[in-house]
Structure 1
């Protein structure tokens, strides 16, 4: 009996108290559950790195509106990237300040990084466009020295040292140009005679743009080149405002009927020949826009033909003796003030109708550097042809 009770007691004790091993397992399980509840959620996946912009991915937005110019075009792309094409076949990609250069840019396309603030300007005709845009400060290197500038702001910049002489078009000072950190060379078409200079500049990493406004078929197309330089310099609004104002002033003149009066534009060379413009030249065309008829409209011009030519005085006499207006071009040998000074060059001119009626005029020397003055020249020509008594800008009467 006693043995039976002891056995029963052992069984009850064993059943009512779980083994130590089971208790430890339970504690471990509870601990794991608690840890699981405190575990932080997994981190989100890292964003993918943005893909580099490529040439083919540039999205076209619009083109620059042009009324007359045909020798350049500007296309705008998303992000204010610009693709520029010039009539000589050269193309450019303008990259905004702080933006990346797209990958895959074709090798033949020159990359221009804004801001363009160290320009080597050889094409003197473009300086007046920089002046109008208040951007002469962007021109730090000049292709002519101080004495070669008739634009006061350009001369002042040279004298103050803000612009330095870096050699003429066919003999640039490469070392000085590199030291200045030049980011664009604006050349005249004379560079076509020295292609090795253009090639050397490009080898040194300096893009070259050839100023071709003189190739524009319409005189006002020459002036519209201000929009190209404005695009390069980020001054499109200024250029648009200027050109719109110009057209407002000229439109009444352009819309008037031709006066029927003939005009001869000329100068006498050191050998006694007479230099005149061909009919396709912008001065000859400007006379037509102002309401006149160019006296030598039969002198046709074309590709590869110079816009001016020399003729003997006998031929000039025949074509201009009865012209209503004579205009002497002072760009070569200086301004004239009197008819007597003109007759000293050739007494034959005394027989000309315009000399006898007192309708002889002379240009100012700064006309051909002040490219934007063409609008004022057209106005002056119209004033002379119409007989209006108003101040002139580029023409003065020979007494």
Structure 2
């Protein structure tokens, strides 16, 4: 059995599943249709000449001219920079995420990840709107990485980034993934097959030369530290930390779509996507709490190398279980990670739970008990019990869709958990990640 999976393991599990991005540099020709609409009919020669002169200016007659939208080109880059113009009219704010901030300064943003990896010091990135002059900054920001946005090419270090790109309709930005085998999304797998997305960390080892020669606009990390990142930076490729997995709130992790949007220029769309996720999540949780039912006893987690990894009550998983109306003996602990327990301690307090939310890659209960015979003593593995795993959708390369969509789709995870624990509240539910093991 491999290391316990992301949902019920130590807080850094699951970051091993990786993925990456693509480049395009559109420069479409101007459309001539504005000229016909600017003319109103037969005019004196002077009037016609005046109309033609006005048409070639940046402000000529409306939106069909890609250079006329407030002094920007088809990509959205500034063509007529003005010091007093706010080039970020839509601004992201964070209501649940605590590990990231964004501040706006007319033609650039400052993105700060407070803890880019466990115990890491804050990192800031200056995101300059393309076409704007480089800002003059002092102090720590004077030496902070400068990244031109919107980016056109992204190497992705985690499969959790991929649904963000999908939701923002920016999969064309993806040009590199760390592990091609871990990718589940069919469209992105097709891009990999076509050679439009490259693999840069096969077997978990980053190929620095491949990244540097690929020259993506940004390499986004999986929220861990690697000495290879320093070499990549020296090679001229900006490295941006994505540490959504350090958020303790499920909605806080989902809100990192706004970080991706800061790079791709899709703040408005990101806000709408997150509001939909948050609304769905809140509605499901409210339905459970409004039903007034007693918490359902569950047993979360499973064994890895002789240790049971149990989600603490203050963790991301603990929050999901609480909102789903689950109860377990360690729900009152305030740690933000996982508790490492002996099987005997788990059995003594939770061995009688009728539902086991496991994380093993088993197809049957027999597979579980074959791996460790002690599992057979749990009430959930015997008649009348239930064993569920989050392995419903496995990609062709063995990647688990839970690691791809689940982390940033907590509404889907919560919906599955409620359907397991309170089936009367979720009739006709279509499971996204969980499946019940057969005998």
Question: TM-score, normalising length from structure 1?
Answer: 0.75
Alpha carbons 2:92, 2:267 under 8 Å: kept: no
| 1:92 matched to 2:125 | yes
The aligned residue for residue 43 of structure 1 is none
TM-superposed CA distance for 1:73, in Å, is 1.5
Deviates more, 1:386-395 or 1:342-351: 342-351
Residue 63 of structure 2 is matched in structure 1 by none
Counterpart in the other structure of 1:18:
none
Between the aligned partners of 2:368 and 2:207, the Cα distance in structure 1 is 41
Name the residue aligned to 1:358: 385
Task: Report the CA distance between 1:221 and its aligned residue.
Answer: 0.3
How many Å separate the matches in 1 of 2:102 and 2:298?
37
Take 1:171 and 1:397, find their aligned partners in 2: how far apart are those partners?
35
Q: Which has the higher contact order (CA 8 A, sep 6+)?
A: 2
For residue 102 of structure 1, what is the aligned residue in structure 2? Answer: 135
Does residue 255 of structure 2 align to residue 224 of structure 1? yes
CA distance in 2 between partners of 1:170 and 1:397 (Å): 31
Under a length normalisation based on structure 2, what TM-score does the superposition of the two structures give? 0.68
242-251 or 213-222: bigger deviation: 242-251
Change (3 A) 1:187 1:164: same
C-alpha displacement of 1:376:
0.7
**Which of 319, 336, 340 is the equivalent residue of 2:366?**
340
- In structure 2, the residue matched to 1:29 is none
Q: How does 1:56-71 map to 2 (within 5 A)?
A: 64-71=92-99
1:377 alignment partner in structure 2: 413
Cα distance in 2 for partners of 1:73, 1:169 equals 33
1:163 aligned onto 2:163: no
2:276 match: secondary structure: helix
Residues 175-194 of structure 1: pairs in structure 2 closer than 5 A: 175-191=209-225, 194=226
Q: Find the counterpart in structure 2 of residue 212 from structure 1.
A: 243
What CA distance in whole angstroms lies between the structure 1 residues aligned with 2:343 and 2:114?
Answer: 37
Aligned pair in 2 of structure 1 residues 241, 373: CA closer, same or farther (>3 Å)?
Answer: same
Q: CA RMSD in A?
A: 2.9
1:314 to 339, 344, 369: 344
Secondary structure of 2:389's aligned partner = strand
1:99 Cα deviation from its structure 2 partner: 1.9
Q: Is the CA contact 1:328–1:361 (under 8 Å) kept in the aligned structure 2? A: yes
Query: Which one of the candidate residues 129, 142, 147 is aligned to 2:181?
Result: 147
Q: State the Cα deviation string for residues 88-129 of structure 1 (Å, max 9, x = none).
A: 311122112222212346333221102312222113322221
1:351 is displaced (CA, Å) by 4.2
More helix by share: 1
Report the alpha carbon displacement of residue 201 of structure 1 after superposing the two structures with TM.
Answer: 2.0
Which of 104, 109, 125 aligns to 1:76? It is 104
Residue of structure 2 aligned with 1:200, choices 225, 231, 235? 231
Change (3 A) 1:151 1:276: farther
Distance in 2 (alpha carbons) for counterparts of 1:227 and 1:314: 43
Distance 1:59-1:244 versus aligned 2 partners, 3 A rule: closer
Match of 2:155 in 1: 120
Distance in 1, matches of 2:88 and 2:188, equals: 37
Distance, in Å, in 1 between the alignment partners of 2:389 and 2:420 is 12
Unpaired runs of 5+ in structure 2? 1-80, 116-121, 392-399
Aligned residue number for residue 76 of structure 2: none
SS at match of 1:383: helix
* Shift in Å, 1:317: 0.8
> 1:206 and 1:124 mapped to 2: Cα distance?
20
1:381 is displaced (CA, Å) by: 0.7
- Separation in structure 1 between the aligned mates of residue 216 and residue 127 of structure 2, nearest angstrom: 15
Deviations 1:288-307 (A, max 9, x none): 111212443255525xxxx2
- Is the Cα contact below 8 Å between 2:212 and 2:236 reproduced in 1? no
* Structural mapping, 1:5-24, within 5 Å: none
Residue 244 of structure 2 contacts residue 256 of structure 2 at CA under 8 Å; is this kept in 1?
A: yes
The range that moved more, 387-396 or 375-384, is 387-396
Gaps of 5+ in 1: 1-51
How far apart are 1:167 and its partner, in Å? Answer: 2.8
The partner residue of 2:325 within 268, 291, 297 is 291
Most deviating of 239-248 and 196-205: 196-205
Q: What is the CA–CA distance in structure 2 between the aligned matches of 1:267 and 1:126, rounded to whole Å?
A: 26
